[in-house]
Amino acid sequence: MVKLRCGDYGFECDFEVDGGEDYVVEQFMQHSYGEHGIDYRKEVVRQFILRKYHS
């Protein structure tokens, strides 16, 4: 199980999502595009997760 918070990536935003990696990636991508206009690729969001949990 993983968790990403929008605020960890430079936004003043309270959005956070946790769950399985695929779910978190999809939800974070949808939120980032819908709320902030940033179209992250899946590989980029997976890198966020790798850096957070494997550093």
Helix (H, G, I), strand (E, B), or coil: what is residue 55?
Answer: coil
Say how far apart CA 28 and CA 41 lie, in whole Å: 10
17: Cα separation from own chain's centroid: 8
- How does residue 54 score in pLDDT terms, banded at 50, 70 and 90? confident
pLDDT in tens, 14-53: 999 999 999 999 999 999 999 999 999 999 999 999 999 8
| Maximum CA extent, the chain | 29
> What pLDDT was estimated at residue 42?
97
- Residues facing 17 on adjacent strands: 4
pTM score, whole prediction: 0.92
* Pairing relationship of beta strands 16-19 and 2-5 according to DSSP bridges: antiparallel
